[in-house]
């Protein structure tokens, strides 16, 4: 009786099956436990405020927030186009735009080099016309993070725009609102939850970006060495520092998960 209450609709699972599920759960929990157990709590604050760690922290914040800003500026219009305008090739363009979500980041980095590198598609021209050089600079790190993280914003905002009642825009127009007014005062406020969720997801992904950044921007402390890169490097020289930095990234991820829990964990 008790078990049928716990599992009212399903068949009674074989014990082995439940055991495998437990193994799966442990697989996720053990690394987290390991991180917590291995954390040198006594020297954690000191490690975190060391010049190297602080530099990486500061750079990570700057780069991830800049990447999020870029994503908002060009990603929201892109999401709007995908949601509202039917044009030939939309499906293909949309697929290519979200490709970085499944693309190995290192491939993204190589692709960015091919486009913006010294001898790249746009890079040559940028260098000759403006003397702008993007790879292996902070701007490069920001670009790499934008490339990998923006799709999260685009698909989240697009879903929000698709779910919105378009008649609110009609109402605004009959009240004399021009296009920009409709966009600023009606459309964007109405999809605010999606904008916030998309921006947070995008930021979290940018903060954790490793592969594309190290490929396209390198690993220069103070310029392109963001936290994930610092963690990787510290692992060989100063494992304690690596663990403390990892803990910070873990805390941020957890905060994002909890902050957006209604989106993923349901109302319960």
Question: Which residues form the interface with another protein (CB under 8 A)?
Answer: 165, 167-168, 170-178, 181, 185-186, 189-190, 192
Closest approach, Cβ 172 to another protein, in A, equals 7
Q: How far is CA 144 from CA 30, 56, 168, 233, in A?
A: 31, 16, 37, 19
Closest approach, Cβ 201 to another protein, in A, equals 22
In angstroms, the CA 227 to CA 37 distance is 21
Determine whether 101 is exposed, middle or buried from the number of CB atoms within 10 Å of its CB (0-12, 13-18, 19+).
middle
- In the bound state with another protein, the residue whose beta carbon lies nearer, of 36 and 171, is 171
- In the bound state with another protein, the residue whose beta carbon lies nearer, of 53 and 182, is 182
Closest approach, Cβ 187 to another protein, in A, equals 11
Closest approach, Cβ 127 to another protein, in A, equals 45
- In the bound state with another protein, the residue whose beta carbon lies nearer, of 165 and 236, is 165
Instruction: Tell the residue number behind the tokens 């917590």, with chain if given.
Output: 36
Closest approach, Cβ 264 to another protein, in A, equals 24
Pick from 230, 226, 251: nearest CA to 66: 226
- In the bound state with another protein, the residue whose beta carbon lies nearer, of 168 and 232, is 168
- In the bound state with another protein, the residue whose beta carbon lies nearer, of 6 and 178, is 178
In angstroms, the CA 6 to CA 160 distance is 36
Instruction: Tell the residue number behind the tokens 């923006």, with chain if given.
Output: 150
């Amino acid at each position: 009786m008790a078990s049928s209450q716990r599992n009212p609709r399903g068949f009674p699972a074989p014990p082995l099956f439940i055991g495998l599920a437990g193994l799966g759960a442990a697989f996720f929990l053990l690394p987290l436990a390991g991180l917590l157990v291995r954390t040198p709590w006594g020297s954690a604050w000191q490690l975190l405020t060391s010049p190297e760690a602080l530099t990486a922290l500061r750079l990570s914040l700057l780069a991830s927030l800049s990447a999020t800003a870029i994503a908002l500026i060009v990603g929201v219009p892109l999401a709007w186009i995908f949601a509202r305008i039917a044009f030939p090739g939309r499906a293909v363009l949309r697929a290519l735009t979200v490709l970085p979500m499944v693309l190995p980041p290192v491939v993204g980095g190589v692709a960015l080099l091919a486009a913006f590198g010294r001898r790249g598609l746009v890079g040559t021209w940028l260098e000759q016309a403006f003397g702008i050089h993007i790879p292996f600079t902070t701007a490069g790190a920001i670009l790499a993070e934008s490339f990998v993280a923006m799709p999260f914003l685009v698909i989240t905002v697009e879903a929000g725009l698709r779910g919105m009642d378009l008649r609110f825009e009609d109402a605004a127009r009959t009240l004399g609102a021009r296009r920009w007014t409709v966009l600023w005062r009606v459309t964007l406020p109405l999809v605010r939850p999606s904008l916030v969720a998309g921006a947070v997801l995008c930021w979290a992904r940018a903060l954790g970006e490793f592969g594309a950044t190290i490929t396209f921007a390198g690993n220069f402390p103070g310029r392109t060495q963001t936290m994930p890169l610092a963690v990787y490097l510290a692992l060989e020289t100063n494992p304690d520092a690596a663990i403390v930095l990892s803990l910070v990234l873990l805390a941020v991820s957890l905060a994002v998960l909890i902050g957006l829990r209604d989106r993923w964990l349901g109302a319960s």
